[in-house]
Amino acid sequence: MTIGAIEAGGTKFVCGLLQANSSDRARPQLIARASVPTTSPLETLEAALAFFTSSEYGHAKPDCFGIGCFGPVDLKPKSDTWGYITSTPKPLWSNTDIAGFFRSRLSLPVAFDTDVNAAAYGEFLWGAARELKDFVYITVGTGIGGGVFSGGDLVHGMIHPELGHLKLAREPGDGFAGSCPFHRDCLEGMASGPAIAARWGKRSEELPSGHPAWELEARYLARAIAAWTFTLSPERIIVGGGIGMREGMVERVAVLLKEELGGYVAALDSPPRLASYVVRPGLGAEAGLYGSAAIAMRFCAD
């Protein structure tokens, strides 16, 4: 079975063609991959489409197609705007029909979910959440989002989880107004890549390891993870994204999480347990792409 997959992110669209054996649950083989900058909707979507239609790669037409997309998105199957990005803070992208574009151009049914839900499903099948029924996958980068797995399946609900828009107590002396256009100082507004750039005047990639930005970042992430621990009771928190997977970040978050929990969760009261509770994705930076393939495979199987 040939699978087309897109991790549609706020910075880039990662496109992949994968080969899978539909008779087992083994991770599919990635046979072609390309990255397209996220610019205007039409330019980006056309460039991504070209990857799947170009003879340069010798592609076979996909048997199924999956998209994990930045949001918010409409996931209600009976909605007139199913498959759309809705009220996103990403300029120009509100009310963009992502799923419909590829469905019509490729004449294929399309599986569609949030990028973080897709990554969570990929981690469940092949990554750091295998054999777990309750866990959270978060990505920290251009935005902050989370996929929630509860009772052995993804949570959608009224819309889908928006973990990045959680309101948190500020660190003492932190006067930064926040960068979220909807909530100003929610987690995304205080700790995403654009928030770091707005706060410190430099992109996160330009800040050295000893910069105070990273201790503050770890503190806000630990505070958010404590809130999700109390409310969702996951067995594991998987932290992805460029900032989340930065060297030393997960380890520092785990240390600060112990302080944030205040001894209330006995199961997390030791450093070894915390180290296995807050982890990086087993699929690394490819969690979103493999996750998008995973939701396509699930859609085809259904």
**DSSP-assigned letters across all residues of 4-15:** EEEEE-SSEEEE
Mean pLDDT of the region 105-119: 95
Does residue 58 surpass a pLDDT of 80? Answer: no
What's the CATH architecture for 128-280? 2-Layer Sandwich (3.30)
pLDDT of residue 227: 97
pLDDT of residue 301: 78
| Residue 21: band (very low, low, confident or very high) from pLDDT cuts 50, 70, 90 | confident
Residue ranges, comma separated, of all CATH 3.30.420.40 domains in the chain are 2-114, 128-280
User: What are the structure tokens assigned to 104, written together?
Assistant: 């019509």
Mean pLDDT of the region 156-176: 92
Does residue 23 surpass a pLDDT of 90? Answer: no
Q: What percent of the chain has pLDDT over 70?
A: 97
Mean pLDDT of the region 60-74: 91
Specify the CATH number for 2-114; select among 3.20.20.100, 2.60.120.460, 3.40.50.300, 3.30.420.40: 3.30.420.40
| Residue 54: band (very low, low, confident or very high) from pLDDT cuts 50, 70, 90 | confident
Mean pLDDT of the region 116-140: 97
| Residue 57: band (very low, low, confident or very high) from pLDDT cuts 50, 70, 90 | low
pLDDT of residue 47: 96
Asked whether 255 and 235 are in contact (CB, 8 A), the reply is no
Q: Output b/e per residue, 153-164; b: 16+ Cβ within 10 A.
A: ebbeeeebbbbb
pLDDT of residue 302: 72
Does residue 159 surpass a pLDDT of 90? Answer: no
Cα(287)–Cα(291) distance, rounded to whole angstroms? 6
User: What are the structure tokens assigned to 281, written together?
Assistant: 């994705």
| Residue 69: band (very low, low, confident or very high) from pLDDT cuts 50, 70, 90 | very high
Q: Output b/e per residue, 49-83; b: 16+ Cβ within 10 A.
A: bebbeeeeeebeebebbbbbbbbbbbbeeeeeeeb
Which of the pair, 40 or 56, is modelled with greater confidence?
A: 40
